[in-house]
Structure 1
């Protein structure tokens, strides 16, 4: 009987599309558009904060992630 190998993530495919540069750019766009949507009454302040938190979580570019990026 063979010992099963631990599962490893294949980051090569994900890294080729969502580079750190692209993720930073997308977060910057979201950070610029959400306040504009709030000014025009499309979202409330609470919704705007939630949208920015969601964008940061999905893109992985908030706080420490911006200061300490991982290699693509």
Structure 2
């Protein structure tokens, strides 16, 4: 995982963090605090991204189930 730094990325933590780190967070291999340190983000930014990603996945599953029932 290579941090890329930059002001724009601080505003969009989910874009600053590479796919490997994102997967590792969800698998529990790395903590939000570790990712925040590596990518120069705050823990709350990373946790916010995690919450947003979980909501998006839940909505995707709900929509998929609804489509299957029809």
Flag whether TM exceeds 0.5 (same fold).
Answer: no
Larger relative contact order, structure 1 or 2 (CA cutoff 8 Å, min sep 6): 1
Q: Radius of gyration: which is bigger?
A: 1
TM-score using structure 2 length: 0.36
Higher fraction of helix: 2
